[in-house]
Amino acid sequence: MRKIVLCFVLAMFMLSWSGVQAATTSVSGAKPTADLPRIASAQTAGEPSAGRLAELSQVRWANHIDAATGITTMRLVMDVSSPVTASSTVVDGSTPRLVLTIKGMLPGKSVTDLTFDGKVAKKVAFDASGQDTKVVIDLPQLLEDTDYKVSTLPSDAEAQRPFRVVVDIKQPAPPKTAPAVPALKKTGTKSNSRTIELSQVRWANHKDAVTGTNSLRLVMDVSAPVKASSVIVSTPTPRLVLTVKGTTPGKAVKNLTFDGKIVEKIAFDVSGQDTEVVFDLPHMLEDADYKVSTLPSDAKAKRPFRVVVDIKQPEPLPDFSFTPGLKNKLIVLDPGHGGSDPGAVGPSQYYEKTATLAVAQNVKQLLEKAGAKVIMTRQDDRDVYGSNATDVDELKARTTVANNRKADVFVSIHANSFTDRAVGGTSTYYYQKTLYDSMLARSLQTSMIEAGGLQDRRANPANFYVIKRTRMPAALVELAFISNPQEEKLLRSPEFQQKMSQGIVRGLERFFEQAAKLN
């Protein structure tokens, strides 16, 4: 208890309001993040290299109480490896959210979702979306524009501070006791002369005669020209949130319910002076899967101004039916990094890419001996996509190997890294896109701990590209901490490599035994 109090005092001292320093101990009721591993390979100064994405390497936060006003503000600080741009929008709905989009950046391995006490924020989720990161902050109640601020800060080599994205959120005032206001204003009158009415909504399905692709078109008539913006939200369920600026829905506008193939339902909500149109989706969308357009009026054709949303039906994930055992299973192994990307580098300059390839080759031999069919994303020290690839190109090339071959499972093999060299252990990550992802991760984690005997850092959910974009159960394993001198020696050791390889194979056996019971 004394240690926690000391950490609290130190954290609040370090997080000076002007200096944006780290606070790694809970001061708001959220789970402390001090024991989570952090990636140590991120750049802390300078321009990003050509064609490479920035990394969100570390997240920290603290609360501040204004001595004069008594207002509590939460500050969330995200360290990034190079300069980025950030945009934000407040989303109304059953759970109000602040959605932050950080362009050209992906979350690092150690970035995990946060849970808070709900006074200022309920939770924060970090989600890779194409080449960007979505930071979704669940709120206790809707924010006004003056209740939060998003800033990007430069690096400071002298103070050893990296580039940062900072979010400040004021604790909202308690709601006044008053009659409940309906979630949807049904009014045909304008609150002032500048309010634009969203007067009518219509929709239709369309099937492309050439490709056979189904799509849904939603057309919203508006009384004057408008601007519209959109954002994809992945948690707690996939949603497309459209904000039509300066509009109010008319009396005829009703919520819609669909068959769930493309959209499950559409809700129209008033948010300040705007209309929020929330599409509940059966699956996550990519940016290429939908399009939002604003169209001019056409007096000759008697068409008003319009906002049009086109959504393609996503390709459904296959139905999985597993049998026990490894025989005839198609397994894709992904040795992390390679070629121009060494991955993390240990104290004695041992490369992560070298350890991951050695273990993957061992796993391949053991699996094939058991009758499995094995495909490796790389079999030697090379880039999978090719030279001069962007981070997303390289990661997509790895998932494409598994998706094109319709693998049964995908396992990406890595070594972890942290600034504190004393930190060690084994961990596994999954993205729950199928019924089986967490089961696979837990099976691998249990078997690797039994085989290697290192600290158990558990199976954890994460938004890593390769486990999210594969169309089968997938897991990313972190064998050990290459930043830890003792564990770096183990990773170099053929004996330890073989132990962990056997652990992975035993974990796959465990998984197929358990998954077969769900058929």
d(CA 452, CA 500): 6
> At which residue do the structure tokens 């045909």 appear?
188
Write out the E strands in 418-504: 426-430, 456-461, 474-481
304: CB partners within 8 A, 6+ apart:
199, 221, 222, 223, 297
d(CA 140, CA 117): 10
* Per-residue tokens: 284: 């996550």
Q: How far is CA 294 from the centre of its chain?
A: 29
| Per-residue buried b or exposed e for 421-452, using 16+ beta carbons within 10 Å of the residue's own CB | bebbbbbbbbbebbebbbbbbbbbbbbbbebb
**In this structure, are residues 78 and 163 in contact, taking their beta carbons and an 8 Å threshold?**
no
395: CB partners within 8 A, 6+ apart:
465, 466, 469
Pick the catalytic residue: 55, 478, 488, 509?
A: 478
d(CA 267, CA 279): 7
Determine whether 477 is exposed, middle or buried from the number of CB atoms within 10 Å of its CB (0-12, 13-18, 19+).
buried
**In this structure, are residues 117 and 78 in contact, taking their beta carbons and an 8 Å threshold?**
no
Three-state secondary structure of 267-310: EEEEECCEEEEEEECCCCCCHHHEEEEEECCECCCCECEEEEEE
Task: For residue 200, give Cα distances in angstroms to 248, 307, 493.
Answer: 11, 11, 68
d(CA 49, CA 42): 12
d(CA 205, CA 216): 5
d(CA 514, CA 436): 10
From the list 182, 84, 200, the residue with the least C-alpha distance to 131 is: 84
487 as an active site residue: the answer is no
Q: Which residues are catalytic?
A: 478
